[in-house]
Amino acid sequence: MSSTISFLQPTTQQFLDSVNQIAQNMQEAQEQVSSGLKITKDSDDPDQISQLLQTRAQLDSVQQTVNNLNSVTTEVTTAEQALQSAVTIFTNVQSLGAEGATSTATPSQLNDLSQQVGDALNELVGLTTTQVAGRYIFSGNSDQVQPYTIDLTQADPVSAYQGSASTRMIADPNGFTFPVALTAQQIFDSSDPTTNVFTLVNNLRNALSGGNTQSIQSALSALSPAADYLNQELAFYGTTQDHLNDATTLGQQMTTNLQTQIANIQDADLTSSILELTQAQTQEQAAMQSEAQVPRSTLFDYLSFPSS
């Protein structure tokens, strides 16, 4: 293996080595002051690079999770508001039924009440078409399909469900997953006839139109279980909202912690870096001044003849 042969005097070589080291120290200090970082490349601190890369990857993952949570939070908030509106509409339907269930209600009044209940049914179906970012949030996995249509001229005015089941889940920063959506079918079109909102509201509408007080009272009484059921579905979104808030808060805390870890690994101590830069500049200047004062020997010094 070949090696570099130096023809310089030892003192001169030592001086150059010292100057090179000072220059390197000065360059490193200058880079830290300029960038604010003590690690900008692998060679700066090889022992810390692996930990730095791992922590950065964790931070990227947590930040992506928080972004996902924020996106889902918008959807869940919108769904919760829609369900709150549905509960209000359903409560109004119960009030309309109570008005029609009295023996003093005239046929004209009953017909008007029937139309109002029909309008309420139309509003409930309208809520199922709620969209966020171009997606029908109550259509399950088939979120490009409108879940229901309505035609009040038909005996069975609400169409069959056009969406699909919902299997959407969201993960918190610890990897725990939970569901975030219900379908319009689950909420309004239950397979249990005692909680099927669409059917029960339409039954009341028909009873009011028919004018039979006993039928109206029976249809009104049947609404109570559906009212409780609708509030349970609303509670699902309230609980999901709480989970999302907790997960987002956790994600923000983890983000702060990871950013702190990264800063501890890679950020420079600017006060120390500036001091090192100043010291290196002073050392370089002192070395140059010292070297300039060293006596120099020339070729003539070695060739001079001794006096006789």
Residue 17 lies in a domain: no
Contact 145, 162 (CB under 8 A): yes
How confident is the model over 168-197, as a mean pLDDT? 96
Residue 116 lies in a domain: yes
Residue 176 lies in a domain: yes
> What is the count of structural domains for the chain?
1
Cα 144 to Cα 72, 132, 135, 150, 239, distances in angstroms:
17, 11, 6, 18, 26
What's the token pair of residue 27? 């360059």
Residue 277 lies in a domain: no
pTM for this model (two decimals): 0.71
User: Which run of H or E residues covers position 179?
Assistant: strand 177-179
Range of the domain at 176: 75-249
Average pLDDT, the chain: 84
**pLDDT reported for residue 263:** 83
For residue 204, how far is the Cα from the chain centroid? 43
The span from the CA of 197 to the CA of 226, in Å, is 6
**Residue 51 binned pLDDT confidence (cut-offs 50, 70, 90):** confident
Residue 244 lies in a domain: yes
Q: What are the tens digits of pLDDT across the range 253-269? A: 999 999 888 888 876 54
Residue 21 lies in a domain: no
**pLDDT reported for residue 1:** 47
Q: What is the CATH number of the domain that holds 82?
A: 1.20.1330.10
**Residue 39 binned pLDDT confidence (cut-offs 50, 70, 90):** low
How confident is the model over 156-183, as a mean pLDDT? 96
What's the token pair of residue 195? 């909680």
Residue 29 lies in a domain: no
Residue 292 lies in a domain: no
Give the largest CA-CA distance in the chain.
152
